[in-house]
Structure 1
Amino acid sequence: AAGSGIPTVKSILSGMYMPKHVDLRTLLAKMVGLILSYGAGLSIGKEGPYVHIGACVANCLSELPFFHRVRTNYVLKYQIIAASCAAGVSVAFGAPIGGVIFAVEVTTTFYLIKNFQKGFFCAVAAAVFVRLMGQEPLVAFFVTDFEPFNLYQTKELLMFALIGVFFGMAAVGYIVLSRKLLEMRRHYKILVDHPYGQLMAVAFVTALIAFPFKSMRTSERRLLDGLFSAESAGPMWTEPSLYLNLSFFLLAKLVLTALSSVQELPIGLYTPIFVCGAAAGRLCGELVAVAFPEWDVVPGGYAVVGAAAFSAGVTRTLSTSVIVFELTGQLHHAMPILIAVILAVAVGQAFSPSIYDTFMEFKGLPAMPDFDPDRAPRLSAREVMRTMPMSLPREHLTYLMAEEVLRQYDHDSFAVTDAHGILIGSTKRY
């Protein structure tokens, strides 16, 4: 139950058999642990755990007698789990369309397009249910009020492109920091032997920093409302110095998020990373406004672009742009956001894996790797198959014949043929 949950779900959807990771005990531990972790004031989010919780709920429901067909059909079961992940992201973001695409990007290596309809239906149903219950999504809509005209000048597109490049590099730096912290927890005996001591230390440092600074103990919604504002960011940021407050908040939030994310707790990363990107983008926008007063810069627009670029660089998800469109309710910054997100993902991908793949590696979770694009097209069936495949005839097959085949061959699966040797299916060893 510890960790984001997205690496675990990605491993399961790759075809790995991991029933203990999505059973009822894991579901209860994930829910209780997330409530306590978030209530402790740690710098974490809820998106990753909600993906894992959705997968656990789908698996537990499939164990009921009513869903016997789902339980016995592994292909259908994996489709239901994938759809439940989309529902979890939709509830967390309050953005069904972007949530579905985000779930596809972070939980699967290869995705069947026909499953998209199930995921989209599940995500919309979950979002509607939350609304009917009278609750706002866990990440509320941050409606911006940018004017549609003179929002940004063409020459500012270069600035947005630079934000994408540098924020992509900053995302790589954050992932490297997280990797170093994970290595420290694994190699230093005092950290290995005292996991609860680590957690208490992180909670103490978080409280020590958050108590005297209002920005560190304010909800993400209020923070983003101020950072995305087309006017002044508000007294919380401007007193005593806007640049000092933004710089301190950005540095402290990044370090506390990295420290919290490597603990053995149910944690999410997207929301704190999104807030950090917004703070960095707002800082860049304020500096550009001072450097080029004739441009009539809107710093809030830079905050939106920065939030999208940094979170996309860390998670390597292009769907971040769609999520931002849904959260802000405006498309006026569509071009700058798309430019920054694409460049941030490209720069990050060139230097390191995503934060979720990094956690997957350190947890030792198996997964289906990406094919090498340079070699895969040149592979032929002869190179990956045995020249004399073993098959089982459907007619006249006895238990003794099947037992002899299992003893003689170590295949994981066997082809099933008809009387003429035509392939009609396959069967697994177990």
Structure 2
Amino acid sequence: MKNNYTILVSHNNEKMFILFKSIVVGLAAGGVSVLYRITLTNAETISNFTYTFLNQNFMFLPITFLFLIGMGYFVGYLVDKNKMISGSGIPQLEGILKGYFKSRKSWMHTLISKFVGGAIAIVAGLSLGREGPSIQLGACIAEGVGNKIGKGRLEKRILMASGASAGLAAAFNAPMAGVIFALEEIFKYFSPIILLSTISAAVTADFISKKVFGMNPVFNFPVSQTVPLNGYLMLIFLGIVLGISGAIYNYTLFKTQKFYKKLTFLNIRTKIIIPFILAGFLGLVFPLATGGGHKIIEYLNLKNGISFLVLILIVKFIFSMLSFASGAPGGIFFPLLILGATIGSIFGHVMIGNGIFDESLFNNFIILAMAGYFTAIVRAPITGIVLIMEMTGSFNHLLSLTVVSITAYIVAELLNSPPVYDKLLDNLIVQEHPEDEKEHINKILVEIIVQHDSVFENSLVKDLHWPGKSLLVAIKRGEVELIPKGDTKIMVGDYLVVLTDINCESKIREKLEKLNLRP
């Protein structure tokens, strides 16, 4: 309890200790994420070789499909034993940091199961990515480190978020995207302590990643010039297309999850067999749709016709839905970026074919569409912009990336499409049993930053209706720590430190966040 409070009001000495701990987390999380990235790269190579071999040796098809069924059942067994490894792992991480999922397997069990299950899924050819699992693996190893050197629950959670940012940094060679992702998606607010911790871990992990994989960006799209200002009206149109497409993606994904739930004659262990069998068929007839999507990148050019690109988009989209919604361990990060890149390629074909833009701008549309599609689906525009700039190694598209991403964001919001990870977390919470809210001996501190136009702004402590089982214990204003009294006025930018029972944390946090929104 004392340690939690110390972290929230810590000054230079405590921050330096967190910095060093975050570097340790970055080393550990970066190492695990790099190992996972190497494993999945080799797994995809094995998958490609296998399906190429089968196309020339049909006699091995029966035994191959038996292997796929066995692999699917084993992955289903892992998910059944530890539901925290299902899907990308990002909603599970957000839930843990918000106080949910207290009854779960150990971090080591989750790490090993996720690592093995994700690798098997890629060997089979499922349309899943490495980035979400890398984030979860980084958080798992950070939890283990935090249990040894962390002071209090709050610091351990900050280290877990740092491990998550390190995982993304190592997976994409994108340290700043890892930091922004932790702030924008996981915590959804800015805190100097969290910023310090995530930067330290992400940069450390990125250093390890670059030592292993080199300095080259993940995507290598040669770009000679930027989109001229007189073409920005069409970029807004592209943003609208991506916003609609992102809303369709989320809607289809959630409907596909419901479809799997309706298959009551199958259990968790057998449902995952479905995408494994489909991967076998696609590996024979349309291998481009299998795996994360690295193979598709080389086909995104003006030499391939629009009809072929549309075919890639449709097949990859459907298989991605069936792969992820099954609950198999794997992320949507990379596949959705590939889908966005394909949409950008089709858009570029149409624009260039009609003489609206010069063909030298073709790769620009691919880059812009990845960021816009990501933003529409995840609803994290800053992460999308920074991520694509780091992944492509080009920082000349900031203005155009912003225009497309913000437009896509607005359109997705107007269509009432929920952010994918928030909705996935809500679905997971619904599946959990209600938690016991009896008085608990263990307490925890919840921190919230007062926003503009919120209920808290310019209100006196005594005039606010605080949630039950909560107590405002401190207000941090800049470097000054205030002991709250009834007539203390709360101001924008104040850090409110609220005490609550550990088993009420998630609900208290939700109530405080609702109060912090504009009424």
Match of residue 200 from structure 2: 121
In terms of mean alpha carbon deviation, does 301-310 or 208-217 score higher?
208-217
Equivalent position of 1:147 in the other structure: 224
Match of 2:393 in 1: 329
Q: 1:130 aligns with which of 198, 209, 216?
A: 209
Percent of aligned positions that are identical: 21
CA distance in 1, matches of 2:501, 2:427: 31
User: Under a length normalisation based on structure 1, what TM-score does the superposition of the two structures give?
Assistant: 0.79
Query: Equivalent residue for 2:464?
Result: 383
Number of the residue aligned with 2:241? 166
Please state how far the C-alpha of 1:209 moved relative to its aligned partner: 2.4
Distance between the aligned counterparts of 1:221 and 1:233, measured in 2? 18
CA-atom RMSD in angstroms: 3.3
Structure 1 residue 354 and structure 2 residue 433: aligned? Answer: no
1:38-96 Cα offsets, whole Å, 9 max, x none, are 221100001111111111111112333xx2xx1x5112111111111110110111111
- Structure number with greater Rg is 1
Tell me the equivalent position of 2:270: 197
Query: What is the distance in 2 between the residues matched to 1:147 and 1:120?
Result: 31
Structure 1 window deviating more from structure 2 (257-266 vs 200-209): it is 200-209
Per-residue deviation, 1:214: 4.8
Change in Cα spacing, 1:121 to 1:19, as seen in structure 2 (3 Å) is farther
SS in 2 for 1:298: helix
Distance 1:131-1:156 versus aligned 2 partners, 3 A rule:
same
State the one-letter code of the partner of 1:80. L
1:364 to 429, 447, 454: 429
Unpaired stretches in structure 2, ≥5 consecutive residues: 1-84, 433-445, 475-482, 486-496, 503-519
Q: 1:161 to 1:297 in 2, by over 3 A?
A: farther
Q: CA deviation at 1:130?
A: 2.3
Q: Which sits farther off after the overlay, 156-165 or 288-297?
A: 288-297
The equivalent position to 2:178 in structure 1, one of 84, 95, 99, is 99
1:78 corresponds to? 157
Counterpart residue number, 1:393: none
Counting matched residue pairs gives 381
Q: Is the 8 A contact 2:170 2:208 kept in 1?
A: no
1:426 and 1:82 map into 2 onto residues whose CA distance is: 20
Aligned residues of 1:182 and 1:362 also touching (Cα < 8 A): no
Q: Who is 2:279 aligned against? A: 206
Query: Is the 2:135–2:165 contact (alpha carbons within 8 Å) kept by the matching residues of 1?
Result: yes
1:307 has 2:361 as partner: no
Are the equivalent residues in 1 in contact too, given 2:93–2:139 (CA < 8 A)? yes
Which segments of 5 or more consecutive residues in structure 1 lack a partner in the other structure? Answer: 387-409, 417-421
- How far does residue 355 in structure 1 lie from its aligned partner after superposition? 0.9
Amino acid at match of 2:389: F
**Contact 1:152 1:297 (8 Å CA) reproduced:** no
Q: Match of 2:343? A: 280
8 A Cα contact 2:338 2:370, kept in partner = yes
**What SS class does the counterpart of residue 310 from structure 2 fall into?**
helix
Name the stretch that deviates more: 114-123 or 20-29: 20-29
- CA 1:373 to 1:43, structure 2 compared with 1: closer, same or farther past 3 Å? farther
Task: Determine whether 1:317 maps to 2:371.
Answer: no
**Alpha carbons of structure 1 residues 119 and 414: separation in structure 2 relative to 1, 3 Å:** closer
Partner of residue 340, structure 1: 404
* Contact 2:224 2:360 survives alignment (8 Å): no
Q: Structure 1 residues 63 and 202, CA, compared in 2 at 3 Å: closer, same or farther?
A: same
